Amino acid sequence: MAATASFDPKSVLKLDGYLEPFIPAIAHRHERFQKWKDAIDQYEGGYEKFTRGFDKMGFNVKESGEIVYREWAPNATEANLIGDFNQWNRMSHPLKKNEFGVWEITLPPKAPGVCAIPHDSKVKISMITPSGARIERIPAWIQRVTQDLAFSPAYEGRFWNPSNSEKYQFKNPRPPQPRAIRIYEAHVGISTSEHRVGTYKEFTQDTLPRIHALGYNTIQLMAIMEHPYYASFGYQVTSFFAASSRYGTPEELRELIDTAHGMGITVLLDVVHSHACKNVLDGLNAFDGSDHQYFHEGSKGRHELWDSRLFNYGNHEVLRFLLSNLRFYMEEYKFDGFRFDGVTSMMYVHHGIGTGFSGGYPDYFGPGADEESIVYLMLANDAMHTLYPSVITIAEDVSGMPLLCIPVSQGGIGFDYRLSMAIPDMWIKLLKHKTDDEWDMGNIVHTLTDRRYGERSVAYAESHDQALVGDKTLAFWLMDKEMYTHMSDLTPMTPIIARGLSLHKMIRLLVHSLGGEGYLNFEGNEFGHPEWLDFPREGNNNSFQHARRQWNIVDDQNLRYRYLNDFDAAINHLEEEHKWLSASQAYVSLKHGGDKMIAYERSGLLFVFNFHPTKSFTDYRIGVDEAGEYHIILTSDEKKFGGFENVSCGGKFTTTPMEWNGRKNWLQIYIPSRTCVVLGK
């Protein structure tokens, strides 16, 4: 336990002195983490071996063609492997059980190098429970499952073992970890403009070049882990090691990731370890006939809002399964990291249900904290960062848990970034409930800058959450039905469209440059995608109308969507040049309620926003710390961005050495209504 002694819990006080009363709780959870880590080191050969459970469990093929299949099912009293290969004979291929509840069978090759189970043929495990009941399940570690909706919504397990010539061979190394992440959140299935499910191949050929041109350096892929209900957005997972077959084959997903790497783009997986689909026939629920194998039994093992099962993170084999799941996607598909879904639900025994987090520290370290789950997240982060130093992990947490993005070795939970979930909520509330002249500049700035010292945040104006049915995209909130009639350059620029285009650009630049150390955009929102997101389901007659991306409207040179698209690209490329996301937090010198003005400096640039709906200002005085000659390097008012060209790039703005708004110098600029400018030297 030497490593435990080396961690000084009081070191966290350097980050946040208010944590002092909670040092015992922080020390206790770190001790629990260390006990697990020590046990993994002592009995499992450390993270390296423990997280490679897929080399032992499930189907493993040797060069000779021999297949070894293992399955953890402690409650079962008898087990047989069945499938197309043995005409579903429930007696011919029995498995043997060891003292840890792991069943095993070895299938000799039919001929040298020829497996007894044909590639892509159907397989299952048939088991007898203590009551004598026969149950049949898809192997838990299966790497491919398919669904034929014409026959049944249930999935069928497939033995995936392509020949060497059919296996995808990676060509490109992983890109280095980005200095700062500019994330394009994407869903393969909706990435087509046609009324159907898009494919990995199409995403590789058509969507990756768009993302690259826009200047995003990271892609976050949603809904990859297999899920039976398309409309769940991938958040009801049944087969954790199977990449969704809706979009194509595992080899085609590998090609997608490799192609992205060739463009220098990092690829993150939206991983769902917070809960699992309750399906029995094709999921983990009641896998061996018991209620408590992978999950807690009773109400503790059920999420009442999500109608799903909750993992028992205190079980050794569950830890092997989940940690190996992370390693599998890093190793087999070359993902570069993870966005962990539902972290708030995991970290609290109440799962965040009916709880408003006030920021009071007892919320985080009192009896409401689920220490078992927090320790799992610590192990997951520590293992991945140990094995892959360039890995990126992001937490979806709305609670504001302290130390979430501090390394485990320093008493934290170990994530690299947290999502700033309050920011998109603020914009929706403003657009829904406030008139433009009611916008509070101070509150906007506070929401954008309110983040924990020393912990990195990913800011975003809107994600997939805001576009889901029942809500709508920011662009649609701003322009609504006029998007159907007045987004063409051949029609007059109406007041609603002019306002919508201006505010869409201003909001995104403000969030990008002030809101965090990373930035995220959901697919299509960069060009102001209209309407909302809704997957085919019974309630909409299984329509794909809103489960696709209308690329045609941004590609049409007569439509105004291209202005938003081009401004989004300009922001990303300017960030790459001036690196504000990796700079220290901005100094905000101005947030003027009456003038609706915001000004701040970050990374040597001066950002100025005029949100006033009617007032333009001539010779508006702006404080700036560094003296010299400034020029406008980006403005939302350029014609190429759908602006009025009242302000254009260039110009010369010389500082005056006199204190203004707490800065050593000032300069004066013309700043029109609903316009933003960036000045640089």
Q: Which residues are marked as active site?
A: 341, 396
Question: How far, in Å, CA of 276 to CA of 512, rounded?
Answer: 34
β-strand 134-137 against 121-128: which pairing, if any? antiparallel
Strand order in 67-72's β-sheet? 58-61, 67-72, 102-107, 96-97
Length of the chain: 681
d(CA 347, CA 364): 9
**Residue 621: strand pairing partners:** 668
Identify the bridge partners of residue 608 per DSSP, sorted by sequence position.
599, 677
- 304 Cβ contact list (under 8 Å, min separation 6): 353
Provide the pairing of β-strand 182-187 with 518-522: parallel
The helix/strand/coil state of 455 is coil
Give the whole-angstrom CA distance, residue 135 versus residue 286: 10
227, 229, 234, 236: CA torsion to nearest 10: -70
Compute the chain's Rg from CA coordinates.
Answer: 27
61 CB neighbour count, 10 Å cutoff: 18
Contact 327, 337 (CB under 8 A): no
Q: DSSP assignment of 625-637, as one string?
A: SS-SEEEEEEETT
The position carrying tokens 């997986």 is 269
Q: How far is the C-alpha of 404 from the C-alpha of 450, rounded, in Å? A: 15
